[in-house]
């Protein structure tokens, strides 16, 4: 009997140590607000804090600039296990259930009185337009392709999607360009526009693009999920469960960071 009691005590102690020692290893960019930074100030930082707490795990980061080779040097290298902020269905990884849906938006200064909501608006041909660019035509952002297929090229100014990484908040340059009148209108991924727009010197107007898909192949609306290795379905199920359990808190975090949510957007065409 005494041996059984001792064995039971050992198992309980072992179990408690295993739970206490669990880590949620997250891959993130240390300079990529509003999503993440090394100070934990991004909304993805806040969301994974909730996920880690829900799983009873200690949050650990692997920091890597979100550039070409990010997956290879983080998840596939085995240095971390979870990448928040991935497009649902991302081909290099398995992805969780989506936890928000956002879109590209037109950003203008409110004092300009522009109400552009469509790439077919004829005013776009005479305005200075800012777009986010990857740098490779075949890989460029959907708004860049939408404008190009309409022949709107000469009055477009490109801002690199990841910005000048040597500076803080590298993705904010395109929103700053609207704020200081360098461009008349910009087409910006919603979370970037919402966060930096709220901190602009002038009041900015964010208008969702009127249609979720341009033409046959350029989506403007994306479901956002968390990525993990394909051979870890049990881990994925845990993440899905934690997302469901924390959805109200996640939605509150997204609202705090002014992330435009597609379900909340009114189609300007109606």
Distance of CA 168 to the CA centre of its chain: 17
- Indicate whether 4 belongs to any domain: no
Q: Is the dihedral of CA 162, 197, 98, 140 positive or negative?
A: negative
DSSP strand E in the chain: where? 23-28, 31-32, 36-37, 58-63, 83-87, 94-95, 100-109, 129-133, 156-160, 185-189, 204-208, 213-214, 218-219, 221-228
Please give the structure tokens belonging to residue 44: 């993805």
- Indicate whether 199 belongs to any domain: yes
Supply the pLDDT for residue 138. 55
- Indicate whether 3 belongs to any domain: no
- CATH number for the domain that contains residue 124: 3.40.190.10
Return the bridge partners of 33, or none: none
Any idea how long the chain is? Answer: 270
The DSSP symbol for 240 reads: H
- Indicate whether 11 belongs to any domain: no
Supply the pLDDT for residue 150. 96
The list of the chain residues with pLDDT below 70 reads 1-21, 135-139, 264-270
* pTM exceeding 0.75: yes
Q: Are 96 and 226 in the same domain?
A: yes
Please give the structure tokens belonging to residue 205: 């107007």
* Helices 247-256 + 233-245 axis angle, to 10: 70
Q: Are 123 and 204 in the same domain?
A: yes
Q: How many domains does the chain have?
A: 2
Return the bridge partners of 106, or none: 187, 207
Beta strands at 156-160 and 185-189: parallel, antiparallel or unpaired: unpaired
Q: Are 38 and 144 in the same domain?
A: no
Q: Are 185 and 107 in contact (CB under 8 A)?
A: yes
Q: Are 255 and 209 in the same domain?
A: no
Give residue 243's domain range: 22-100+222-262
**Which string of b and e fits 183-205 if b means at least 16 CB within 10 Å?**
bbbbbbbbbbbbbbbeebeeebb
């Amino acid at each position: 009997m005494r041996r059984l009691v001792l064995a039971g005590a050992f198992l309980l102690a072992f179990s408690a140590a295993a739970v206490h020692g669990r880590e949620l290893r997250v891959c993130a960019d240390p300079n990529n607000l509003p999503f993440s930074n090394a100070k934990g100030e991004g909304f993805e930082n806040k969301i994974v804090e909730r996920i880690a707490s829900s799983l009873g795990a200690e949050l650990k980061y692997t920091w890597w600039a979100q550039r070409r080779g990010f997956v290879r040097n983080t998840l596939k290298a085995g240095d971390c296990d979870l990448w928040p902020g991935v497009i649902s269905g991302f081909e290099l990884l398995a992805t969780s259930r989506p936890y928000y849906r956002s879109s590209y938006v037109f950003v203008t200064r409110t004092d300009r009185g522009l109400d552009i909501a469509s790439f077919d608006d004829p005013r776009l041909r005479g305005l200075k337009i800012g777009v986010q660019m990857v740098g490779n035509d075949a890989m460029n952002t959907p708004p860049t392709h939408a404008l190009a297929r309409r022949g709107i090229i000469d009055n477009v100014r490109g801002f690199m999607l990841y910005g000048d990484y040597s500076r803080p908040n590298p993705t904010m340059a395109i929103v700053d360009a609207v704020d200081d009148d360098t461009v008349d209108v910009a087409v910006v991924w919603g979370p970037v526009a919402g966060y930096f727009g709220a901190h602009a010197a002038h009041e900015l107007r964010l208008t969702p693009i009127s249609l979720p898909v341009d033409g046959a192949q350029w989506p403007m609306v994306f479901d956002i999920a968390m990525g993990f290795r394909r051979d870890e379905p049990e881990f994925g199920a845990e993440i899905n469960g934690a997302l469901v359990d924390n959805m109200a808190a996640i939605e509150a975090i997204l609202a705090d960071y002014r992330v435009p949510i597609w379900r909340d957007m009114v189609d300007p065409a109606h």
